[in-house]
Amino acid sequence: MTPRFAWIAALLLLLAGCGSGGPVRRISEPAASLQQVSVRADGRWDVQVRLDNFSSVPMRFSAATIQVALDNGAAATVQAQPQITIGPESADVFTATVTPLAEGRARIATALADGRSLAYTLAGTLEAGPEDGGPRTYTIKRTSALTPVPGLPGVLR
């Protein structure tokens, strides 16, 4: 290889190493799940919703509208404005107090009395966006289960 071609090859390698100069910004769909449901003395529920940010940047969660079904029957709707920022590839929890439907109240009461797990499905929307941008609406769907917590009456996790 002549010195001239060696110089050009070295210059091209040097330029190839100068990428975009920063980390890649990846915005991914968030997820939601129930972390805990506590039955209050007045019959309402304190619902702890876990929000997962799978993006590579912090995301601001501004609104949530989530329908909760227990054992495939409508139970309650969570409507909240959490106004929380969750770091990249992290999660956080917000709590909302909801008034359940009579069917939902009965399903939880039966599960607590029998000490059995209760299947749940979440369906709805989350509004979230990067801190330096506007929010976007994401559709969520999640199926999992809650189990009564021994020693904590009225609590399922």
Whether residue 69 contacts residue 123, with contact meaning beta carbons closer than 8 Å, is answered with yes
Over the stretch 26-83, which tens digit does the pLDDT of each residue have? 999 999 999 999 999 999 999 999 999 999 999 999 999 999 999 999 999 999 999 9
Q: Is the pLDDT of residue 20 over 60?
A: no
Domain-located, residue 12: no
Q: Return d(Cα 142, Cα 78) in angstroms, integer.
A: 14
List the structure tokens of 4.
């001239």
Domain-located, residue 9: no
Residue 113: pLDDT band by 50, 70, 90 thresholds? very high
Count: domains in the chain: 1
How far, CA to CA in Å, does 150 sit from each of 39, 114, 153, 155?
14, 12, 7, 9
pLDDT of residue 77: 98
List the structure tokens of 108.
């939880």
Single pTM value for the model: 0.85
**% of residues, the chain, pLDDT over 90:** 82
Domain-located, residue 11: no
Would you tell me how many other CB atoms lie within 10 Å of the CB of residue 25? 12
CATH number at residue 142: 2.60.40.1820
pLDDT of residue 18: 56
Q: Is the pLDDT of residue 109 over 90?
A: yes
Closest CA to 120 of 111, 133, 130: 111
List the structure tokens of 86.
């969750």
Element (H, E) at 136: strand 136-146
Domain that holds residue 65: 27-146
Domain-located, residue 77: yes
